[in-house]
Amino acid sequence: MTFRVQPLVRDRVIERERPSAGYLARLAAEHGRSGLAPFIASPDAEAVGLVADRGAGAYVRVRRWAVTPGDVVAPAEYAELALTEYLDVLDGRGLRPAFVAVRDAGPYTRRGYAVSEIADEAIVDLPAFSLAGSKRANLRHSTTSARRAGLTVHAYQPWHGPQLEDISREWLRTKRGGELGFTLSRHSDIAGQLEAHATDLWVIVDGDGTVQAWCTWRHYLDGQARVLDVMRRRVHAPNPAMDCLLATVLETYRDIGLAQASLASVPRDHGATADRIYPSRSLRAYKQKFHPRWEPRWLAVPAARQQLFALAAIGTAYCPGGVRRALFRNG
C-alpha cells in the first residue's frame, strides 16, 4: 500500500492518508509482538502510517492526549525509526503521547519518558498447553462437564450470525454502560474483521444447535499467535460453557502449531471505582484458571507528573459513552 503524501502542516511532519483497517490488521498480524498490536486497527483510533508504509501507530485523541494502544507496529529493524516518526507526528499535531501497555519499557526510558507498570498480559505457551495435571484441574473438570452435557465447539458459520446478535443484545442489557472500546472490539466491529480475515470467531453450541457462547481471537506475531478479544455468553448458558469454549480453542490452536495465545492484558488494581469501569479483579481471577504466564505491561508518558492526567485520559478512551455512564455498566 502506498501512502499519499500531503504538504507539510507543521515542522518536520508529513501527513499521510489513513491506512485502511484491513492493512493495519495485516501489519499487526505480521509485525505485532503483543496482544495489543491488533488494536492499531480500532475504529476508535486515528492511525498513522510510518516508515514509508512499513509500519503504523494509532491513537485515540482525548483533549491534548494521544492515547496509544501498545507499541507502534513495524518490522524489528525499523522499530526505533517508526517510534521516532510517530512521536514527530504527534508533536506536529500538538498532542501529548500516552502509551498504554507497551511490551518493552526500554525505547521509552531511552527517550526520557516516565514508565510504570500498568497491566499484565496473560500468555499461554501453546506447545505446552494441556488440561492434564493439577495446574488446570478446575478448568479440566468444567470442560469435561460441558462436553458430557453435549456442548461442542465450532468455527463460526454465517448461519450462526442471528444467534450471535441475540446473545450480544442480551449481554448488553446487563451492562448499562454499554460496550467499552480502545483495546476491546465491539460486536459491530466483527463483520469487518471477518471480511478482512483479521479475526477468528468460535462458538459453542448445545445438542439442539443453540449457540450458548462465542468469542473472537485477533492475529499477531507473524500469524503464529492469537489474542482473545470479544467474549459473549447467554445469561442462562450452562456454567462451564465459556471454560469449554476457550479451552477447546486453545487446544485447537496448539494442534495446528501456533506458538502462543494471549488471554489479553488485565490492568493492575486501581481501586473500586476503576474496577467498576473495567472489572480487573474478576478478570484476573478468571484468566488465572488457564494458568498463563503473566508478563508486565507499561504506561509510558513524557513526564512522571503527567501520569495521573494520562490515566484519566485512558479511562475516557476506553469509554466512548463517557466515564460516568461506564461506572454503571456492572451496577
Task: Tell me the per-residue pLDDT of 115-169, one tens digit each, with 9 for 90 and over.
Answer: 999 999 999 999 999 999 999 999 999 999 999 999 999 999 999 999 999 999 9
Between CA 300 and CA 102 the distance in angstroms is 8
10 Å CB burial of residue 91 (0-12, 13-18, 19+) is: middle
pLDDT of residue 9: 36
Cα Dmax for the chain = 65
Q: How confident is the model at residue 291 (pLDDT cuts 50, 70, 90)?
A: very high
Specify the fold of 5-121+298-326: Aminopeptidase (3.40.630)
Is residue 181's pLDDT more than 70? no
Is residue 324's pLDDT more than 70? no
Structure-model confidence comparison of residues 186 and 330, the more confident one: 186
Across the range 90-114, mean pLDDT stands at 97
Residues with Cβ within 8 Å of residue 274, at least 6 apart in sequence: 267, 280, 315
Residues with Cβ within 8 Å of residue 61, at least 6 apart in sequence: 46, 67, 95
Is residue 216's pLDDT more than 90? yes
Is residue 319's pLDDT more than 80? no
pLDDT of residue 277: 55
10 Å CB burial of residue 296 (0-12, 13-18, 19+) is: middle
Across the range 101-110, mean pLDDT stands at 97
Across the range 294-307, mean pLDDT stands at 97
Across the range 284-291, mean pLDDT stands at 96
CATH topology agreement for domains 5-121+298-326 and 122-294: yes
Q: Which CATH class is domain 122-294?
A: alpha beta
Q: How confident is the model at residue 10 (pLDDT cuts 50, 70, 90)?
A: very low
pTM for the structure as a whole: 0.88
pLDDT of residue 278: 59
Across the range 298-314, mean pLDDT stands at 95
Structure-model confidence comparison of residues 182 and 72, the more confident one: 72
Across the range 275-296, mean pLDDT stands at 86
Q: How confident is the model at residue 276 (pLDDT cuts 50, 70, 90)?
A: low
Q: What confidence tens digit (pLDDT) does each residue in 26-63 have?
A: 999 999 999 999 999 998 899 999 999 899 999 999 99
Question: Helix/strand/coil (H, E, C) string of the chain?
Answer: CCCCEEEEEECCEEEECCCCHHHHHHHHHHHCCCCCHHHHHCCCCEEEEECCCCEEEEEEEECCEEEEECCCECCHHHHHHHHHHHHHHHHHCCCEEEEEEECCCHHHHCCCCEEEEEEEEEEEEHHHCCCCCCCCHHHHHHHHHHHHCCCEEEECCHHHHHHHHHHHHHHHCCCCCCCCCCCCCCHHHHHHHHHCCCEEEEEEECCCCCEEEEEEEEEECCCCEEEEEEEEECCCCCCCHHHHHHHHHHHHHHHCCCCEEEEEEEECCCCHHHHHHCCHHHHHHHHHCCCCEEEEEEEEECCHHHHHHHHHHHHHHHCCCCHHHHCCCCC
Across the range 101-123, mean pLDDT stands at 97
pLDDT of residue 4: 35
The residue extents of the domains of the chain are 5-121+298-326, 122-294
Q: By percentage, how much of the chain surpasses pLDDT 90? A: 77
Between CA 103 and CA 99 the distance in angstroms is 10
Between CA 9 and CA 286 the distance in angstroms is 48
